[in-house]
Amino acid sequence: MAFLENTVKETIKLIEELHDLCSRVKWSELNREGFLFELERSTKKLNVIYSKLSEIDKSIKMLLEKNSPDLSGFLVELSREITVLESNISMEKSKKFHSEMVNEIEKKEVPELYSSLQQKILGLSLKTRYNIEKVNNFLAAKNMPFVKKGNTAKNLIELLQRKEDELGILRQRNVDLKRKSFFGTVEEKSIAEIEFDLHEKDKTLKEAVTETSKALKTHLAQINYVEGSFANLSERVKQIEDLHENYSKKTLELIKEMKKERDYARVMALEIEQETLKIRSEYTKEILEIEDKKNTFKEKVSERYVKEIDYLKKELNDKSVALANVIKLIEQQEKEIRRLKAKLSEEKESTQNKGRKKK
């Protein structure tokens, strides 16, 4: 049990180090080398945390407790996410990612990808902290000695676990409602879907511009006498190109702003969740300590009163014995007084009888 508790404490420390390390800088502002360094360092820490969690899960299952927390589902999810992160590292190192996914006119760095991976790691650290806190609370409830004497602390721990599950459900429901209210439709679209639709429209516009340009060249080559029509068509093409350029700029600006707002909201949510977990852990620990102190105080007061009662009983018993001895002594003295009185009376009668005989 001591080994399990030490492993849990080490894991909590590693999770806090990972969160602080990952949130220290904005990955979207880094160059490719800086991003690759941060990603490798965070992924290595995630691998260490995954190993620790696997050991904790095995140790908990060996306890054969009825209400023990189950980490197997989260371990599968964490392993899958680590595999994705390692694939990104491999693609960055071999430069296949940029050669396959990025156009020649785009920059070498991809800030949106960097920010997305940073948010993914922060989210994983938060989920990991949530699961390890459940294990920590379970061990605290199991190891406190007064839990065996009463059900108060045990009920508090179970209530906290139920409230954490309810908070998770409500949190997901709140995210869904915010998404619906933001887009104003029943159908929920993510930013990736919106970006895909915008790129499809941009592609359609490009095709329209290409077809219009081809029509312009064909019209110019075949019909030289329709200069007026050519001028109008040229002006129209120019207008379409200007509209397309403005549309593309605004689309990219909109996507960037939406991603900035999304990243900021995620960072704030993760910070709040992290602070909430810390406060909840401290609050649980204080409740258990207060309950322990209360029971310890009760035991001390009970022991003191038991000692005082025993002392008073002993003192009362001693006084009862002394009183019985005094009563016995008085009875003996009374018997002696009666004997002396009888003897004195006999001597007096004897004296009187002798006086009568002399007369």
The whole-number pLDDT of residue 44 equals: 92
Q: Give the per-residue pLDDT at 232.
A: 74
Look at residue 186 in the predicted model and tell me its pLDDT: 40
Measured at the CA of 194, the angle between CA 193 and CA 198, to 5 degrees, comes to: 115
153 backbone dihedrals φ, ψ, rounded to 5°:
-65, -40
pLDDT of residue 187: 44
Comparison of pLDDT for 343 and 148, the residue scoring more: 343
Check whether 146 has a pLDDT greater than 70.
Answer: no
Band the pLDDT of 49: cuts 50, 70, 90.
Answer: very high
What do you get for the CA distance between the two ends of the chain, in Å? 113
Q: Are 77 and 131 in contact (CB under 8 A)?
A: no
Q: How many domains does the chain have?
A: 1
CB-based burial label for 337 (10 Å; 0-12, 13-18, 19+): exposed
Domain limits for position 133: 1-143
Q: What is the pTM of this model?
A: 0.47
**Is residue 334 scored above 80 in pLDDT?**
yes
In a domain, 85, yes or no: yes
Instruction: Tell whether 158 is covered by a domain.
Output: no
Asked if residue 247 belongs to a domain, the reply is no
pLDDT tops 90 at residue 48 = yes
Q: Mean pLDDT, to the nearest integer, of 203-221?
A: 69
Q: At residue 145, does pLDDT exceed 60? A: no
pLDDT of residue 341: 83
Residue 126 falls inside a structural domain = yes
| pLDDT exceeds cutoff 70 at 163 | no
pLDDT of residue 132: 86
Closest Cα partner for 119 from 11, 35, 22? 22
CATH number at residue 51: 1.20.120
Q: Is residue 102 part of a domain?
A: yes
Q: What is the pLDDT of residues 95-140, one digit of tens each?
A: 544 444 444 444 456 788 888 888 888 888 888 888 888 888 878 7
